[in-house]
Amino acid sequence: MATNKFCEITSEILALSELSKQASYIPPELYSKYDVKRGLRDINGKGVLVGLTEISDVCSTETINGEVVPAEGKLFYRGYNVQDLVRGIEPESHFGFEECTYLLLFGKLPTQEELQNFCKILSEYRTLPTSFVRDIILKAPSKDMMNTLARSVLTLYSYDDLADDISLPNVLRQCLQLISLFPLLSVYGYQAYRHYHDGASLFIHTPKPELSTAETILHILRPDSKYSPLEAKLLDIALILHMEHGGGNNSTFTTHLVSSSGTDTYSAIAAAIGSLKGPKHGGANIKVVQMFEDMKAVIHDWTDEDEVSSYLRALLHKEAFDRAGLIYGMGHAVYSLSDPRAVIFRSFVERLSKEKGYDKEFALYSMVERLAPQIIADERKIYKGVSPNVDFFSGFVYHMLDLPLELYTPIFAIARISGWSAHRLEELVNKGKIIRPAYKYVGHHFDS
C-alpha cells in the first residue's frame, strides 16, 4: 500500500531526527548530580509534594513506633473509604457513579432528593448540539477513540457562548455537561469508526433519561441495547473505582497544571485526555488483556503452575509477549501490599465470570495474581511490595462485558472526568499561581 505523502518519513527527516537526538540527550548521571527527581518522584518512589487537595487520599503506608512501613492500600473520596462507598450501593440498590460524582464535586454525600435532582441535571445535559454527531463525529472518524474524544471536546468550545468564562458557576456548568456527554462522545466515536473503517452497521442509539451512566454506555454501545443487571452494576463499580486517584496522577496533575494558566475548561480537559491516552497511564488495562491472550495461546495447560510460572519469568526476561520485561497489571507507583480498587473489584469479577462462563479464565487470572508477586520479588530488586493493580482486573471485566479494546481507555476517561472536574474547580477556587517548576540548564554558553 502506498504511503500517504503527508506522513512519509523522508531521508532528510531521518537525518534531522538524528541531529535532534544528539542535541536532546542529557547524561543520566547529571540527574543525580543536581538532585533532580525524575518523574517528580524520589529514589524510593515517593511523589514530590507539589500541592494540597481535599478531594481524595491515596494511602499505602502507616506509622508504627515512629517508622513508616507499608500497609494495605486504602483510597478515600472526600474522607470516605471507597470500599464503604461501594458497599453502600450493592447489590440491588441505586447506581453509585452519580452519587460519588456529587461527593467529589460538592464535598458531601447527597440526600436522596439531592441525588435525584443531580441525576436530572446530568440527564438534561446528555444531549449533543444539533447536527454535532453528523458534522463532527461521523466525518473523518479517527482510529483512536481518545483522539476522537479530545477533538470532540475541543469542538464543543465552538458551541459554547461562554467558553472562556472561568467563573465558578460557568465552569461547573461546563464540567457537568462534559461528565454527561463523555459516554456519547466516546461510544458514538467508536460506532463511526466501526462503520467507516470496518464496514460494520452504524448504530446511533438515543440516550434514555432514566438510565445511569453505566447503563447508558451499554445501551448506546450494543446493537440491541440489552444488558443484565450484573453487567450494568459491575460497569458502575468500574467507573467508581477509576473516577479519582489523588492529584498527583499524570492526567489530574495535567488538569491542575493547565487550569493554573487560566485557560478554558475545554482546553484543560482535552489536555487531560491527551495525558490519559498515553500507554503508561490509561492504556495499561489493554496491555493486561493482550498479555493474557498471548499467555492463553502459548501455555498448554492453564492449571499448570510451573508452566504459568515459566511464562511469567519469560516476561520479566523479555522473552515473551511484547518483550518489554513487564508483567502488566502488577505493581503501582504508590500502593505496595495491595491496591484497594483491585481488592474491591475481585469479588464482582468472580461473580461476572460465573455468569458469563469465564471460570477457566478467572482461575488463570487468580493464579497469576498469586504467583507474579513472588516471581517479581525473586527476579528484581524492588524497594516495596508488588500486588495486582486495578488494571489487572478491569481489562478482564471489559472483555467479559464484550466491550471493544478501542473503548477501554475512553471508559477510563468517562470515569475520570468527574475527578478532573473536581480538581479543576479546586484549582480555580484557590486562585493559585501558574504552576511553573524549574528546569536547570546544563548546556553550554557560546560567546558571540
Q: Which residues are catalytic?
A: 332, 391
Angstrom distance (rounded) from CA 96 to CA 418: 13
* CA pair distance 210, 204, nearest whole angstrom: 18
Is residue 408 a contact partner of residue 283, using CB atoms and an 8 Å limit?
A: yes
Query: Around Cβ 275, how many Cβ atoms within 10 Å?
Result: 20
Kindly report the three-state secondary structure assignment for every residue of 20-72.
Answer: HHHHHCCCCHHHHHCCCCHHHECCCCCECCCCCCCCEEEEEEEEECCEEEEEE
3-class SS of residue 64: strand
Q: Could you tell me the strand order of the sheet in which 80-81 lies?
A: 56-64, 67-77, 80-81
Contact 218, 235 (CB under 8 A): yes
- Per 3-state DSSP, the chain is made up of helix, strand and coil in percentages (nearest 5) of 55, 5, 40
DSSP-derived pairing of the beta strands 80-81 and 56-64: unpaired
Q: In angstroms, rounded to a whole number, what is the distance separating the alpha carbons of residues 360 and 354?
A: 10
**Cα angle: 365, vertex 146, 264; to 5 degrees:** 130
Tally Cβ neighbours within 10 Å of residue 95: 21
| Phi, psi of 369, deg, nearest 5 | -55, -40
DSSP state of 445: -
C-alpha cell of residue 281: 497511564
CA distance 358 to 104: 34
d(CA 61, CA 80): 18
95 near 215, Cβ under 8 Å?
yes
Angstrom distance (rounded) from CA 388 to CA 331: 6
